[in-house]
Amino acid sequence: MNEQNNNMNLESKNIKPFTDAEFASCLKNDKFDAIQALTDSQAETLAKLDGYELDLSGLIVITDEQAKILAKSKRTELRLDGLTSLTVPQVESLAEYMLLILSFGGLTKISDEVAEALSHCQAERLELNGLKQLSDVQTKWLAQFDSADCWLTMNGLDELSDSQAESLSQFKWKYLILEGICSLTDAQAESFSKFKGEYLRLGLHLSDCSDYQQKLLSKVLF
């Protein structure tokens, strides 16, 4: 069913996987981000490549099977910033990938089920910088993300509820980066003053805060 849906998505967007010759040219010229769709065999080729970054930010759609294949990649950084939606099976496959960085910059919103799957991510750094909104339930799931080095970046968020700030403050990340957050309520500052991680970065500096908030955040905000 997913393969059929994938084909329908490709047809509706007038997108076709490259021919083998075109695909080989992309690899030869290091133009991975020009790839908008894949065949399974092309995904297998990509997964076997040595190196550091695998930037597939041009990829618009993948199948569940292709996600399983890419999850076996030899590279340590995988960027899938062109995907605007993911299925739970895709996230579950990619979440098992022991990466330094896993980036889904094209996601502007996610379901509760995808948030739960992302909470099991094994990458050291999970980048969700396209997210514009989160529900309280989704925030609680992401607050459970706990991989080896534990970076979470969500720089597209420009506001949080007080309950979301409280949830995020309880997580023991090494780094939590929310550079879109440029103002806080006193309640949010009180929650973040109890941040359990090592490094909290917001889009505001101490000088932007009230005297009360400065006292609360002086030891946690960098």
Q: Which residue type sits at 26? A: C
pLDDT in tens, 3-57: 445 545 555 556 889 999 999 999 999 999 899 999 999 999 999 998 889 999 9
- Residue 1 pLDDT: 43
Please list, in sequence order, all residues whose beta carbon lies within 8 angstroms of the beta carbon of residue 71, skipping any fewer than 6 positions away: 93, 94, 96, 97
Query: 101 to each of 49, 111, 125, 127, 152, how far by Cα in Å?
Result: 17, 22, 5, 7, 10
Give domain status of residue 204, yes or no.
no
Q: Which domain holds residue 74?
A: 2-157
> What average pLDDT score do residues 101-117 get?
96
- Residue 144 pLDDT: 86
Give domain status of residue 218, yes or no.
no
Give domain status of residue 183, yes or no.
no
Give domain status of residue 27, yes or no.
yes
pLDDT in tens, 58-108: 999 999 999 999 998 888 899 999 999 999 999 999 988 877 899 999 999
- Residue 113 pLDDT: 97
Q: Which residue type sits at 116? A: E
Q: Which residue type sits at 4? A: Q
Query: CA angle at residue 143 from 218 to 56, to 5 degrees?
Result: 105
Taking each helix axis from N to C terminus, what angle separates 20-28 and 40-47, rounded to the nearest 10 degrees?
A: 20
- Residue 163 pLDDT: 96
- Residue 196 pLDDT: 84
DSSP the chain: -HHHHHHHHHHHTT--PPPHHHHHHHHHTT-GGG-----HHHHHHHHT--SSEEE-TT-----HHHHHHHTT-S-SEEE-TT-S---HHHHHHHHTS--SEEE-TT-S---HHHHHHHTT---SEEE-TT-----HHHHHHHTT---SS-EEE-TT-----HHHHHHHHTS--SEEEETT-----HHHHHHHTT--SSEEEESS-GGGS-HHHHHHHTTTB-
> For 17, phi and psi rounded to 5 degrees?
-60, 150
Q: How far apart are CA 15 and CA 36, in angstroms?
A: 7
Q: Is the model more confident about 15 or about 113?
A: 113
Give domain status of residue 171, yes or no.
no
Give domain status of residue 32, yes or no.
yes
- Residue 23 pLDDT: 95
Residue 7 sits in a domain whose CATH number is 3.80.10.10
pLDDT in tens, 140-196: 999 888 765 789 999 999 999 999 999 999 877 789 999 999 999 999 999 999 998
- Residue 96 pLDDT: 86
- Residue 6 pLDDT: 52
- Residue 2 pLDDT: 46
| Domains: count for the chain | 1
Give domain status of residue 172, yes or no.
no
Is 80 exceeded by the pLDDT of residue 120?
yes
- Residue 3 pLDDT: 46
Give domain status of residue 202, yes or no.
no
